[in-house]
Structure 1
Amino acid sequence: MTRALELQQTFGEDVIRLDEAYVKKRSRDYYWYSPVLKKQLDGYAGDCVAIPRDEEELAAILSFAVRHRIPLVPKGGGTGNYGQIIPLHGGIVLDTMKLNTVKRIDDGAGTFGAGITLGKLTRILKGSGQELRFFPSTYMKSTLAGFIAGGTGGIGSIEYGTLWDEGNVLELTIMTMEEKPKRLDVRGKEELAKYIHNYGLSGVIIDATIALAPKTDWQDLLAEFDDWRDALVFSEQMAKKETVRKRLISVCEAPLSASFQPLRPVLSGDKHTVLIQAAPSHVEEIHQSGLSCGARWIDGFQAFTASKRLRATDFSWNHVTLWRLKDHPDDTYIQARFHPDTYEVQMQELSRSFPGEVLMHVEWIKSGGHIVPSSQPVIRYTTDERLFAIMDHCRRTGVRVSNPHTFLLEEGGKDDWIDHICQAKRENDPYSLLNPGKTKRMEVAEHV
């Protein structure tokens, strides 16, 4: 705390916040989605919050931290689910929200400050006739750098893939954690992979150049199905039909949609649902295909959401889990990648082995050029042992699991580039001060 006071005296009270309630709040993300992480991480917080107003001030804060060997955790909007930004060793929570300038917007690409929210960016891009290629369901609060350093994909991934797919993240500007911080311009797939989904371990993102898509007036469609297989078959048909332009196909097993509180006036609540965002010219084709598969379309769904000032995307991806938790606060979730050829059999096996404990929820995405079912099944939580038994069973049946109940980067199932991340950490963070404790491959230095 003595160093925190010195830091505040150096940079001022507007830049360095010490009030305990504020620091605790800014030291949190949505780790409580996981009952495992809630038990592990409750009580952790930083010693102060640093809010640099420009790159020069950021560099000075990093230099101060290195000179005094103070750990530092970069933070964006705090919408992650894995405790990525929770400080395990106190120190500085680096809030990047004021590094939010628009550097440039070109045709097909743009460069923006790390702390700009994706919601603000969406509004800004409308003026150029463009939009984000993909974004998380938390986009109103998520920051650009926070999404890159802690996310994977989202609404739009059915067309453009994930953060790792070439052509999405084009360039990053990184500041190193050294006494004299360096400014690195990073390009190329392997170099960029050192900073994508890295939990801020290998460097501080200060701005990013990303690819953009032409603005489309997406139409929201929602259908109910009596039969779960009919919902899956229809969703797969639309996902794989290349002539149909879409941004989202989200499928929920009953009774998940019963927890969509704002949609209760138009939903049955006991049916399986398929939520689609599609280009206007393909709405009628989708509508007819759905009817042939047993769909009951929610008439006027887009008009209903508009009248209630709702975002249809708030009922997809991990927002599904959030709505479920409002009604069933003890539930949780896992992240599962089912095999695109045998996913129905795998899902049946999981439901048979754990009846009433697993509710399926699928988003179709593109990964490595292939359309695949990416799933976030909701789990009725009883014990940690039972939760991990369900994940182990998934793996035995060929389902790839990304474990959302760990704060360790390489245990989360998205560790294909962990060697590259650790290599960059050794080069850019010689005292292991960036988010220490979030990887088991790099021991926290004794001086931390």
Structure 2
Amino acid sequence: MPNSDNWLDEMIEAFEAEVVNVRQAYVKRMSQDYYWYSPILKRQLESHFGDCVAAPRTEQELMNVLSFAAKRKIPVVPRGGGTGNYGQIVPLYGGIVLDTSKLNQAIEIKEGEGTFQAGMKLGMIEKTLHESDQELRFFPSTFMKSTLAGFIAGGTGGIGSIEYGTLWDEGNVLELTIVTVEETPRKLKVKKKEELAKYIHSYGLSGVLTEAKITLAKKTNWNDMLIRFADLDQALLFSEKVAINSNIKKRLISVCEAPLSTSFSPIERYTTKEDATVLLQIDPSHQESVTKLASTYKANVEDTFPHYIHINKLRVSDFSWNHVTLWWLKQHTKDTYLQGRFHPDHYLEQVKQLKDRFGDKVLIHFEWIKVKGAVVPSSQPVIRYHSPARLQEIIDAFHEFGIKVSNPHTYLLEEGGKDDWIDQICVAKGENDPYSLLNPGKTKRRANKKQIR
């Protein structure tokens, strides 16, 4: 806990009103993300808030806030767009919610790479890149609100990962600028792959990210497709064929078991309660090949779908990844989801095992991606929630069937299934955050002896 009862008064006096906000309703809103996707996290986190929000306008102002916190031992939780699902930004011990959204400038854009401040929204980066005929390699479905630093510190992959992999794959994140939480904060430039991994999907535990250099892709005028299948297995087999075909350039392959896609109200005219759907973004020059492939699976290709998306100014990405869960929860508020990585050689059998045991209590949703160059079926199935015990039974079954689970019902970093680099993250935390002020409580490990009491 903070070691000074009047630190908040001191902070208000030390910083301008534009930087520090103590309005209770605003602080509560900025202390939350989409953790309520999980009924477990909703119960655990809904009463946790920060004491204030600090929104520095410059990197130096950010360093001043961190220096203030270090001197008084005040917890600091970095916040991007607040679109995470695991309570990453929920302060467990009060303190300062560090809003980085005012650090939102493009620093340098060259052919093939760009450097941007931490708080720049991915949607704005994408729009800016189009001016140079470039685009992001990949992004989450929440990219219009997500910030670059929030994505790097809390995300994994997204639309485009079928071509370029995840944040950990070499060549995607080139350089990070990290600021330490000390009486005199240091600014670090991190470039080596093994060093970068200390800050990717770290929940901001190991340092405050202020800039990032990322690799860019040449812009493609992607064609949106929606294809319906009477049988889920046929939809999955078709989607796999598209995923593994290196001659087909694609950005998205999203598969939903019926009736998941009926919750997509803006495009419900193209869905039915009986049909599985596959949403794709395909290079226009390869659309004919995909259409011919779909015909071999007796699928229904919705020819008017691309035009409908265009004239209604919709984004196919809004009906993929965890937006699938969001649309479903709008109509089924008691349900939840899981995250799992199925085996590329046995995924159909794994799906059958789940359906045989749980039926429509587990609704399949696949997103095909690459991991270290290999095509794998990632999944975010919807769970018809009944109780914590039943949810744990389903998680245990995933493990039993050989499906790797990234558990979205815990706020502890290493319990969420992304623990490959937890040792290195904790080493960096010990070096950069000597008083363990950054997002305390989000890991089971102790980086050093100067923990908050």
Q: Pick the TM interval, shorter chain.
A: over 0.9
Deviations 1:122-154 (A, max 9, x none): 110000110000000000000000000000000
TM-superposed CA distance for 1:442, in Å, is 1.9
Given the alignment, which residue of 5, 12, 30 partners 1:8?
12
Given the alignment, which residue of 232, 238, 241 partners 1:234?
238
1:124 aligns with 2:128: yes
Paired-residue identity, %: 59
1:80 aligns with 2:84: yes
1:173 aligns with 2:177: yes
Question: Aligned partners of 1:356 and 1:229: how far apart in 2?
Answer: 15
Given the alignment, which residue of 74, 95, 98 partners 1:94?
98
- AA aligned opposite 1:296: N
Given the alignment, which residue of 140, 149, 161 partners 2:153?
149
**Match of 2:280?**
276
**Match of 1:29?**
33
What's the TM-score, normalizing by structure 2? 0.98
1:414 aligns with 2:418: yes
Deviations 1:9-63 (A, max 9, x none): 1111110000000000000100000000000001100000000000110111000
1:247 aligns with 2:251: yes
**Does the CA contact (< 8 Å) of 1:334 and 1:402 recur in 2?**
yes
**Match of 2:75?**
71
TM-superposed CA distance for 1:265, in Å, is 2.1
**Match of 1:286?**
290
Given the alignment, which residue of 228, 232, 237 partners 1:224?
228
Q: Secondary structure of 1:111's match? A: strand
Given the alignment, which residue of 143, 157, 162 partners 1:158?
162
Given the alignment, which residue of 400, 403, 406 partners 1:399?
403
After the TM superposition, which residues 321-336 of structure 1 pair with which residues of structure 2 at under 5 Å, given as runs?
321-336=325-340
Q: Secondary structure of 2:428's match? A: helix
Question: Aligned partners of 2:432 and 2:233: how far apart in 1?
Answer: 50
1:201 aligns with 2:201: no
Question: Aligned partners of 1:268 and 1:178: how far apart in 2?
Answer: 56
- AA aligned opposite 2:276: H
Deviations 1:140-189 (A, max 9, x none): 00000000000000000000000000000000000001100000000111
Q: Secondary structure of 1:354's match? A: helix
TM-superposed CA distance for 1:83, in Å, is 0.1
TM-superposed CA distance for 1:111, in Å, is 0.3
Structure 1 residues not aligned, in runs of 5+ = none
Change (3 A) 1:16 1:224: same
Deviations 1:381-435 (A, max 9, x none): 0001110110111111111000000000000001100001000000000000000
**Match of 1:374?**
378
- AA aligned opposite 1:282: H
**Does the CA contact (< 8 Å) of 2:78 and 2:97 recur in 1?**
yes
- AA aligned opposite 2:38: S
Change (3 A) 1:10 1:394: same
- AA aligned opposite 1:289: L
**Does the CA contact (< 8 Å) of 1:114 and 1:208 recur in 2?**
yes
Deviations 1:344-393 (A, max 9, x none): 00110011111221000001100111101000010000001110110111
**Match of 2:360?**
356
What's the TM-score, normalizing by structure 1? 0.99
Q: Secondary structure of 2:132's match? A: coil
**Does the CA contact (< 8 Å) of 1:52 and 1:99 recur in 2?**
yes
**Does the CA contact (< 8 Å) of 1:258 and 1:270 recur in 2?**
no
TM-superposed CA distance for 1:446, in Å, is 5.2
State the number of aligned residues: 448
Change (3 A) 1:379 1:102: same
TM-superposed CA distance for 1:447, in Å, is 4.2
Question: Aligned partners of 1:316 and 1:446: how far apart in 2?
Answer: 40
TM-superposed CA distance for 1:225, in Å, is 0.4
Structure 2 residues not aligned, in runs of 5+ = none
Q: Secondary structure of 2:330's match? A: helix
Question: Aligned partners of 1:260 and 1:10: how far apart in 2?
Answer: 48
**Match of 2:118?**
114
Change (3 A) 1:429 1:300: same
TM-superposed CA distance for 1:266, in Å, is 2.6
**Does the CA contact (< 8 Å) of 2:436 and 2:451 recur in 1?**
no
**Match of 1:347?**
351
Question: Aligned partners of 2:439 and 2:380: how far apart in 1?
Answer: 27
Question: Aligned partners of 1:422 and 1:173: how far apart in 2?
Answer: 18
1:266 aligns with 2:275: no
Q: Secondary structure of 1:105's match? A: strand
Question: Aligned partners of 1:217 and 1:289: how far apart in 2?
Answer: 21
**301-310 vs 395-404, which deviates more?**
301-310
**285-294 vs 24-33, which deviates more?**
285-294
